[in-house]
Structure 1
Amino acid sequence: MPQLSMPRRTLSTLSRACQAVLVSTSFAAVSLATVGLVATSLAATAGVAHAEEAALNDRYQWLEDVTGDKPLDWVRSENARTEAELAATPGFKSLESDVRTILDSDAKIPGVQKIGDHYYNFWKDKQHERGLWRRTSLAEYRKDKPQWETVLDLDALNEAEGENWVWHGAQCLRPDYQRCLIALSRGGADADVTREFDMTRKAFVEDGFFRPEAKGGLDWIDRDTVYVYTDFGDGSMTESGYPRIVKRWKRGTEMSEAEVVYEGRADDMYIAAIHDDTPGFERDFVSRTLAFYNDELYVRGDDGALSKIDVPNSVNKNVHKQWLMLELREPYSAGGHEYPAGSLIAANFDDFMAGKREFTALFTPSESTSLASYTWTRDHLVLNVLDDVKSRLSVLTPGEGEWKRSEFTGAPDFGTISVGAVDPDDSDAVWMTVADYLTPTTLYMADIGEQPEALKSMPAFFDASGKVIEQHFATSEDGTRVPYFLVRPEGLAYDGKAPTLLYGYGGFEISLTPGYSAAVGKGWLEKGGVYAVANIRGGGEYGPRWHQAALKANRHKAYEDFAAVAKDLVARRITSPAHLGAQGGSNGGLLTGNMLTQYPELFGAIVVQVPLLDMQRYHKLLAGASWMAEYGDPDKPEEWAFIQTFSPYHLFDPGREYPPTIFMTSTRDDRVHPGHARKMAAQMRDADKDVRYYENIEGGHGGAANNAQAAHMSALAYTFLWEQLAE
Structure 2
Amino acid sequence: MSENGSEDGSLHIVDVATGKDVDKVIPNVQYPTGGGSLAWREDGSGFWYTRYPGAKEPAERQHFYQQIYYHRVGDDPAKDVYVLGKDFPRVAEIALDARPGAPGVIASVANGDGGEFAHYLIARDGGIRQVTRFEDKVVAAALGPDGLYLISRQDAPRGKLLKLALDDLTLAKAQTIVPESDAALEPGGEFGAGNITLTRNAIYLREIVGGPSRVAIYGLDGKPRGQLQLPEVATVDEMTVMDDGSLLVAVKTYLEPPQFMRVDADSGRSKPTALRQTSPVSFGDVEVVREFATSKDGTRIPLNIVRRKGLKLDGSAPLLLNGYGGYNVSLVPRFLGAATRLWLDAGGVYVIANLRGGGEFGETWHTQGALTNKQNVFDDFAASAQYLVDKGYTSKERMAAIGGSNGGLLMGAVFTQHPELFRAVVSTVGIYDMLRVELDPNGAFNVTEFGTVKNPEQFQALYAYSPYHHVNGGAKYPAIFMATGETDGRVNPMHSRKMVARLQAATGSGRPVLLSINAHAGHGMGSSLSIRVNQMADIYAFLFDQLGMTSPLQ
Could you tell me the TM-score, scaled by structure 2's length? Answer: 0.86
1:273–1:470 distance in 2 versus 1, CA, 3 Å: closer
- Which secondary structure state, in structure 2, belongs to the residue aligned with residue 568 of structure 1? helix
Work out the CA distance in 2 between the residues paired with 1:611 and 1:533: 18
2:149 is matched with 325
Work out the CA distance in 1 between the residues paired with 2:217 and 2:454: 48
Work out the CA distance in 2 between the residues paired with 1:267 and 1:570: 46
Q: Using the TM superposition, give the Cα deviation of residue 353 of structure 1 relative to its aligned residue in structure 2, in angstroms.
A: 1.6
Q: Using the TM superposition, give the Cα deviation of residue 711 of structure 1 relative to its aligned residue in structure 2, in angstroms.
A: 1.2
Per-residue displacement from partner, 1:211-242 (whole Å, max 9, x unpaired)? 35753455444625654522344548876924
One of 254, 264, 280 as aligned partner of 1:447: 264
1:626 is matched with 445
1:208–1:653 distance in 2 versus 1, CA, 3 Å: same
Per-residue displacement from partner, 1:25-65 (whole Å, max 9, x unpaired)? xxxxxxxxxxxxxxxxxxxxxxxxxxxxxxxxxxxxxxxxx
Does residue 515 in structure 1 map to residue 337 in structure 2?
A: no
Q: Is the 8 A contact 1:343 1:362 kept in 2?
A: no
Alignment of structure 1 residues 400-549 onto 2, 5 Å: 403-408=222-227, 411-418=229-236, 420-423=238-241, 426-436=244-254, 438-448=255-265, 449-462=268-281, 464-549=283-368
Work out the CA distance in 2 between the residues paired with 1:426 and 1:604: 55
Q: Is the 8 A contact 2:158 2:180 kept in 1?
A: yes
2:169 is matched with 353
Work out the CA distance in 2 between the residues paired with 1:661 and 1:695: 14
2:502 is matched with 683
Q: Using the TM superposition, give the Cα deviation of residue 636 of structure 1 relative to its aligned residue in structure 2, in angstroms.
A: 3.1
One of 129, 137, 149 as aligned partner of 1:314: 137
Q: Is the 8 A contact 1:445 1:453 kept in 2?
A: yes
Q: Is the 8 A contact 2:131 2:170 kept in 1?
A: no
Q: Is the 8 A contact 2:65 2:88 kept in 1?
A: no
Q: Using the TM superposition, give the Cα deviation of residue 501 of structure 1 relative to its aligned residue in structure 2, in angstroms.
A: 0.5
Per-residue displacement from partner, 1:663-708 (whole Å, max 9, x unpaired)? 0111122111111111111122233563011112223211772222
Work out the CA distance in 1 between the residues paired with 2:176 and 2:89: 35
1:43 is matched with none
Work out the CA distance in 2 between the residues paired with 1:238 and 1:245: 16
2:3 is matched with 186
Amino acid at match of 1:348: L
One of 110, 113, 118 as aligned partner of 1:289: 110
2:371 is matched with 552
1:610 is matched with 429
Amino acid at match of 2:482: F
- Which secondary structure state, in structure 1, belongs to the residue aligned with residue 387 of structure 2? helix
- Which secondary structure state, in structure 2, belongs to the residue aligned with residue 700 of structure 1? coil
Per-residue displacement from partner, 1:331-354 (whole Å, max 9, x unpaired)? 2xxxxxxxx222222213325425
1:566 is matched with 385
Identify which range, 184-193 or 212-221, moves more after superposition: 212-221
1:623–1:637 distance in 2 versus 1, CA, 3 Å: same
1:712 is matched with 534
Work out the CA distance in 1 between the residues paired with 2:20 and 2:231: 46
Kindly, what percent of the aligned residue pairs are identical?
A: 28
Amino acid at match of 1:198: D
Could you tell me the TM-score, scaled by structure 1's length? Answer: 0.67
1:237–1:218 distance in 2 versus 1, CA, 3 Å: farther
- Runs of 5+ consecutive residues of structure 1 not aligned to the other structure: 1-183, 332-339
Does residue 370 in structure 1 map to residue 194 in structure 2?
A: no
One of 384, 407, 411 as aligned partner of 1:592: 411
Per-residue displacement from partner, 1:56-99 (whole Å, max 9, x unpaired)? xxxxxxxxxxxxxxxxxxxxxxxxxxxxxxxxxxxxxxxxxxxx
Q: Is the 8 A contact 1:698 1:704 kept in 2?
A: no
One of 461, 467, 485 as aligned partner of 1:666: 485
1:277–1:347 distance in 2 versus 1, CA, 3 Å: closer
Alignment of structure 1 residues 27-42 onto 2, 5 Å: none
Work out the CA distance in 2 between the residues paired with 1:552 and 1:625: 14
1:357–1:351 distance in 2 versus 1, CA, 3 Å: farther
Q: Using the TM superposition, give the Cα deviation of residue 491 of structure 1 relative to its aligned residue in structure 2, in angstroms.
A: 3.1
Q: Using the TM superposition, give the Cα deviation of residue 392 of structure 1 relative to its aligned residue in structure 2, in angstroms.
A: 2.9
Amino acid at match of 2:92: Y
Q: Is the 8 A contact 1:238 1:268 kept in 2?
A: no
- Which secondary structure state, in structure 2, belongs to the residue aligned with residue 496 of structure 1? coil
2:420 is matched with 601
Q: Is the 8 A contact 2:246 2:262 kept in 1?
A: no
- Runs of 5+ consecutive residues of structure 2 not aligned to the other structure: 187-194, 550-554
Q: Using the TM superposition, give the Cα deviation of residue 514 of structure 1 relative to its aligned residue in structure 2, in angstroms.
A: 2.6
Aligned length: 527
Does residue 198 in structure 1 map to residue 9 in structure 2?
A: no
Q: Using the TM superposition, give the Cα deviation of residue 439 of structure 1 relative to its aligned residue in structure 2, in angstroms.
A: 3.0
Amino acid at match of 1:656: A
Alignment of structure 1 residues 627-642 onto 2, 5 Å: 627-642=446-461
Work out the CA distance in 2 between the residues paired with 1:458 and 1:244: 36
